[in-house]
Structure 1
Amino acid sequence: MQNIDPTASARADGPNSGLSDAEAAVNADIEALSQQLAQAESAVADMRDVLLRERAELENQRRRLQRDLEQARRFANERLLSDLLPVCDSLERGLAIETADSAALREGMDLTLKTLNKVVEANGLKAVDPVGQPFNPELHQAMSMIDSPDHASGTVVSTMQKGYVLNERLLRPALVAVAK
């Protein structure tokens, strides 16, 4: 006797034949996901490596910059001091001369002062000597008030000590006497 029931053949193959197709699909999905996971882990490892290298490079740049700034601070006055050496040489030569001639001494001091003024002006230092100018509290410090018929009220009559401006910034105010 022959079975003509179409569902009978499916039952004859057994319930495992349908599961094996599902298992194969699941195994294929697992394999694909495992490959994707391995690729993602590889990408993360590469990114971690790049990140560590970038951090190391930034740290090296920070150290170089810090070292360069320290060098700049240590040798910032190098140019100024090398410009002042001729002034020191002139003063030493003047002190080495043992003549009592005050005119020669005065002339040597005058030349040394001119050399010094050249050096400080070349390095951005300017003297503030405001005689005859209106009093400016940003540049001058009034030490006294004087009755002066020759000057208008609020005008600087005399300077007791010059002031100095370094690159447009007040270094020391001029000490002045102002007309009442």
Structure 2
Amino acid sequence: MSETAKNTPDDLHDVNAEQAAAEDIAAEANAAEHEDVVIEDPITALEAEVAELKDRLLRQAAEVENTRRRAKKDVEDAGNYAITKFARELLDVGDNLRRALDAAGDTSNADPAMKTLFEGVEMTEQTLLKALEKNGVEKLEPLGEKLDPNKHQAVFEMPNPDYPDGHVAQVMQAGYMLKGRLLRPAMVGVTKNPPAEQAPKDDTPGGNVDTSA
């Protein structure tokens, strides 16, 4: 009879029991190991979650602050520059008053009615300028200043020995700023002097030696 045939049902039952016991021991070990991991993981996970929530909170707080600042600036800009269109229209009125005064020229010898008219137009211009200034509109009179493309619009170039090149030699139309923002650039003529005459001969010994030979 073979060895296999000698195994009785009782022997097979014992083998199965041993296998089952070994499996239970392995399962208990795995459960214990898993239990240790479970005990450690929640702490790490909570710490990571707290750090993530803290980062989110800081980001959202910064975003809320930026939004608040932008909204505040928008409100301030709306208040400061709400009169932009109206102010530009008033500038045309001021320009016409100035043209009338310039066209009148010297009125010292004019008749009293003409002088009165001239003085009235002049007072009207001054009142308008004061009203504009009171509302944050500043007049630009850049004569003699270096050309600033952010404030001046160069219309032509002209020689003028009184000013260096690139400086405003003539103001065709005044410019204006509204609370630090350009309302209208000044239209100007810019100095461009001709090249200097040929340098005088050098009288020092050895100066201006002809080396063409």
- TM-score when scaled to structure 1? 0.47
- TM-score when scaled to structure 2? 0.42
